[in-house]
Structure 1
């Protein structure tokens, strides 16, 4: 997972909407989706498994033995057609199979991109399309920036299995995928069982339990029983809705993909998968390679590997890589000595005496208290190693927690919990129970995890949950071919990250052994999803797309080093203020902002120095509004802590500003408001306690001095 967590951007978007509502504006309808929240990722997204209830991190380690058998691998050759008459809510018929039906995008379209959306109806079971059971895939085609794009688009395969591809588009597309539009269209779709596709195998019951059980301190047996029980509830609900769990696997998924190309009338395309998306791509290479120009496998998941027995080995390797990386970095080692010892001593301390920290659901604004033990800390470190943006701050984070500062840890846990909102865990169980558990016996996962006692307690209960859930899930038993390495001569690019905790570089090498036209590259200092984690892997990926038959220029890898570990107590940054203007619809404002801060829209600028950096400044003006009321509105919208009483004033050449000091989840919030005959003005700075005084002088006061409506 590869993520910068500009979570407060989502909250900040509420400010402008609230101001408009209070003003009773009727002629302007701005959308808060212009505010960047998550740059990804995470993991995607989030592309990977969400942190599960209380003390376990959900991972695909199912090991039960299902009994049903239904895994067809052949793909009918549909005729490509298109129609504009059907709406997404209409029932599908056999006449509309394999037909692209244009429809409104179900997600908020990111600003500045030309996107066409629709649905394609597929048979639930491709080997029996006449049985009348269907699934509908929601598809988005992002148009190339080129006036003369290449005829072969890129189709992106999301990970998981079970991650939603389209719901996070407004949050991540500009940062992650926009570069791919230079020469080609870029196609994204929600795979069967996920996101806006129908039916969805999401389990909101599980997500609700994950939040509601954060503060529970249960014996492991009770926690397992509670989780298994909620998955049984989800399973029974989906079964009553008519879901055939044995039809949600990679073979059917790949058949969807092959039919989708024909439905969209493309002669050939480039298939690009991350994480589970690479397993899906390999299944397509095996079952129906027609029309595939090239394959990109980022963070490879081999069919012949076992997540059941290899999971703990992969996690332990990544932990060793991380601790060794800091030890080998002179500055990191000097600032955070004996990091591995400090970490596991902290794990033992938290096992003995758990701590409580605040967690927020950033979609609903609800706050929770999480009880954090040592196994939870191990799970958080594991999940963090997905992200190239989070890895550099981990040594500092570990020492912060040791010293009693859990603010960033709570923010990180909140972010990981958010992943479950964009994830279909029912689809994950359908795929993994079929494709992993068919080739292992109950208890194998637990036994392999127990071989690593330092980390076993964080994962062993999850393996037991998976055993029990797979026993009743009804995902079917996979054919032997689903456990065999794929052989292909398709041009393939294989990318791997040194720190990847779930799909190690060795798995990329393993996949490449069966591919005669493959190029493999490992990138130092990066985690999971390397193609969207930096300029070097992106340039290699784009070069491969230009000519998949030739080795891409990868000389930039030699210039990469390990992670640029964040060092606490570093000298204050040098601030250079530059002018800006922002169109707020109700007013155009002008002022100054630090150079290099990211424009998130609506006069909001985020620093984003690290993945957890919540430093931002908001500068707005609202016509005909009382400044005191504006403070009350801001405080209510953001649920700020403290009293809305002035603590002083600040005089500029044209305005007298009233000053307020509040807090947001422990972060200092400085607010200045002023008004003239036409407008109420507001400047709001969110910072950290360590930097507050510096940024107050260097950024906040100059912003008040410069803000105006031209």
Structure 2
């Protein structure tokens, strides 16, 4: 391929795609596709138009945002890998660069990678966005701390009902947003972009969707990898705390199987419970130059931090000693591990803007796993980034739009009336729902500015070109996007969980399961605030689907991968999924959390071998090489001399 020349493989996509039922529109990638990617050559982005309801193909349509990342090979396998993200309602295109460069780097050597945001997720959620409700609460949303994944309870209660009313008033059929139609979307997308045969890699909710594809729309599926498995037969919300107890069980079993650990900590389950019981009754006060140690901080270290993909501290190796010491009121090991510094693998790449904390974590773990793109000369990466920056600077010249932005901002800040400023910001956010042009902007100026400010701004509007209007309306969309992301976190996951999954779960079922877990680990009873999901779902209308919780039966080869540190989906659930899959295989990985290939190269290698030949025997001996060197009670503390 000659540098600068469009990739001929994409010609049919520019012409509308391969299936007239699902038209393709090529668009610029919304987010950076990766350091060495060139849009139109190695990667292409766009939308596929699919029916909101497949039973009514002439009814409402949903634009699904997708990206194709071409294989590194000049002679790739004809069947690509489509990645099904988690959530539900999560999205993946905001982290497109890491997906292609790093997460699926080994898979990409021989296969194209397809990524897309599922219906009611991220860039594909425009048909269920709450623009008016977001604008009405934009000031409150702006006060939510950065990195917050869920709206605070009081704010959620105020926004959720108006949002659902706004969606219904827009003519969207919320009953059509479910995993069954999501599965049909996968098939529609792949035929539309020219891949009649393909492979699937699903993580978290993506595993549930992958299994639903095998049930609902299996045509063309060659093989499936499910990683961090959430089978539909599991009552997921009743068992929200089950994965924590299962992760504790795995640690107990690891220690019992290790001669050193078993000798030093012969009854680790009892020790774990004793440590939590002591902290519940008698937290270690802030002293020693360290903060308080309580049950929440211990739970966070042992189960949350250890499952984080960017975590580099040897937490597992030290946990038995930490539990044993805390049970006796000692804090040495806890203090040493909890204060260990961790390098930030993204530091050399600058701030990764526009991502949620989950997506930032995805970037970090990807960079770690790839060792900062070791296959490229650092100087080459720097040169490419500099060239991209130079090209961007060349495009960014002073414009009437910039003058308009500066003057309107100055006038708004000088107003001094908080209510007027709030109304101004709310109406500016709503510009994203309008077609770029002069009249919506004129209406906004006349509603919120007076005197010389109004005359100046109207004069600037009169001098604007189409490009200026595009910049202003893009600014409105960009400014509102972070607040819409917060709204999506409140709504889009609930669209799936509350409509189709929660009807099979119940607060009674949750409490019954909690009581079972409490017999093994009494401390989990103290984390029953997870029932917040039930409170949120009270706002949604349930739409249960017959057979939703039936186990999926299929002859398609399936590989299930599970990490024993995973506290989002239990490492036990992969075995549940493959029980009804005659060609299913299940592997469990030490020192892996949610999404095994993210934590362990061994998992990535096994999945690549499986995809290359889904029916061949797999060499999984690398799993045996993943060792944890448990520390003894008298081993030196980290950093000690």
TM-score range, shorter chain: 0.5 to 0.7
Partner of 1:672: none
Query: Which residue of structure 2 lines up, in the alignment, with residue 697 of structure 1?
Result: none
Q: Which residue, out of 124, 140, 147, partners 2:67?
A: 140
CA distance in 2, matches of 1:499, 1:181: 27
Calculate the aligned-residue CA RMSD, in Å: 4.3
Alpha-carbon distance change, 377 to 555 in structure 1, aligned in 2, over 3 angstroms? closer
1:149 aligns with: 76
Q: CA-to-partner distance for each residue in 1:137-169, whole Å, 9 max, x for gaps?
A: 111111111011111111010112122211123
Distance 1:85 1:162, change over 3 A: same
- Quick one: which of 297, 303, 307 aligns to 1:382? 303
Deviations 1:415-436 (A, max 9, x none): 6696796974422111111332
2:564 aligned with 1:498, yes or no?
yes
Q: How does 1:564-575 map to 2 (within 5 A)?
A: 569-570=637-638
Contact 1:375 1:458 in 2 (8 A): no
Map 1:174-573; keep pairs closer than 5 Å: 174-199=101-126, 211=145, 227-232=156-161, 234-239=163-168, 241-322=170-251, 325=254, 340=272, 343-345=275-277, 347-348=279-280, 374-375=295-296, 378=299, 381-387=302-308, 390=311, 393-394=314-315, 403=335, 424-453=489-518, 454-456=522-524, 459-463=527-531, 465-474=532-541, 476-562=542-628, 569-570=637-638
Residue 15 of structure 1: aligned partner: none
TM-aligned CA distance change 1:455 to 1:189, over 3 Å: farther
> 1:499 and 1:514, CA in 2 relative to 1: closer, same or farther beyond 3 A?
same
User: Contact 1:115–1:140 at 8 Å: present in 2 too?
Assistant: yes
Cα distance, 1:119 vs. partner?
0.8
Cα 1:166–1:417 change in 2 (3 A) is closer
Determine the structure 2 residue equivalent to 1:127. 55
Q: Secondary structure at the match of 1:553?
A: coil
SS at match of 2:548: helix
1:107 maps to 31
Cα distance change, pair 506–341 in 1 and its aligned pair in 2 (3 A): closer
Instruction: Say whether the 8 Å CA contact 2:566–2:593 is kept in structure 1.
Output: yes
The alpha-carbon deviation at position 502 of structure 1 amounts to 3.2
- C-alpha spacing 1:547/1:267, structure 2 compared with 1 (3 Å): same
What is the TM-score with the length of structure 1 in the denominator? Answer: 0.56
Deviates more, 1:104-113 or 1:562-571: 562-571
Note if contact 2:315-2:337 (Cα within 8 Å) is conserved in structure 1. Answer: no
Distance 1:393 1:557, change over 3 A: closer
**SS of aligned partner of 2:88:** coil
Determine if contact 2:559/2:610 at 8 Å carries over to the other structure: yes
How has the CA–CA distance of structure 1 residues 332 and 230 changed in structure 2, closer, same or farther, with 3 Å as cutoff?
A: farther
SS at match of 2:199: strand
- The answer as to whether partners of 2:555 and 2:582 remain within 8 angstroms in 1 is yes
Q: Which has the higher helix share?
A: 2
Match of 2:432 in 1: none
CA distance in 2, matches of 1:235, 1:353: 45
Partners of 1:213 and 1:544 lie apart in 2 by: 37
Deviation at 1:321, TM superposition (A): 2.3
Structure 1 SS opposite 2:566? coil
Quick check: 1:83–1:102 contact (8 Å CA) kept in 2? yes
What is the CA–CA distance in structure 1 between the aligned matches of 2:147 and 2:597, rounded to whole Å?
A: 35
Q: Given that residues 153 and 185 in structure 1 are in contact (C-alpha distance below 8 angstroms), is that contact kept between their aligned partners in structure 2?
A: yes
Cα 1:243–1:332 change in 2 (3 A) is farther
CA separation of 1:111 and 1:371: change in aligned 2, threshold 3 A: farther
Query: As a proportion of its length, which structure holds more strand?
Result: 1
Q: Give the whole-Å Cα distance in 2 for the aligned partners of 1:342 and 1:505.
A: 25
CA shift in 2, pair 1:183/1:83, >3 Å: closer
Task: Supply the distance in 2 between the matched residues of 1:493 and 1:528 (Cα, whole angstroms).
Answer: 16
Q: Aligned to 2:307, what secondary structure does the other structure show?
A: coil
| Maintained 8 Å contact 2:238/2:506 | no
Give how far 1:193 is off.
Answer: 1.2
Matches within 5 A, 1:643-662: none
- Report Cα offsets for 1:24-76 as digits up to 9, x if no partner: xxxxxxxxxxxxxxxxxxxxxxxxxxxxxxxxxxxxxxxxxxxxxxxxxxxxx
- Alpha-carbon deviation of 1:410? 12
Gaps of 5+ in 2: 1-9, 323-330, 345-355, 362-481
CA distance in 2, matches of 1:424, 1:156: 21
CA distance in 2, matches of 1:467, 1:375: 22
- Write the distance in 1 (CA, Å) between the matches of 2:224 and 2:574: 13
**Cα distance change of structure 1 residues 108 and 401 upon mapping to structure 2, 3 Å threshold:** farther
Looking at structure 1, the residues matched to 631 and 95 of structure 2 have their Cα atoms a distance apart, in angstroms, of 28
> d(CA) in 2 for partners of 1:409 and 1:170?
27
For this pair of structures, how many residues does the alignment match?
Answer: 463
Maintained 8 Å contact 2:24/2:48: yes
Distance 1:125 1:179 in 2: 36
Does the Cα contact within 8 Å between 2:127 and 2:172 map onto a contact in 1? Answer: no
Q: 1:450 to 1:539 in 2, by over 3 A?
A: same
- Measured in 2, the distance between the counterparts of 1:342 and 1:415 equals 33
Q: Which runs of 5+ in 1 are unaligned?
A: 1-79, 87-94, 215-221, 359-369, 573-689, 691-710
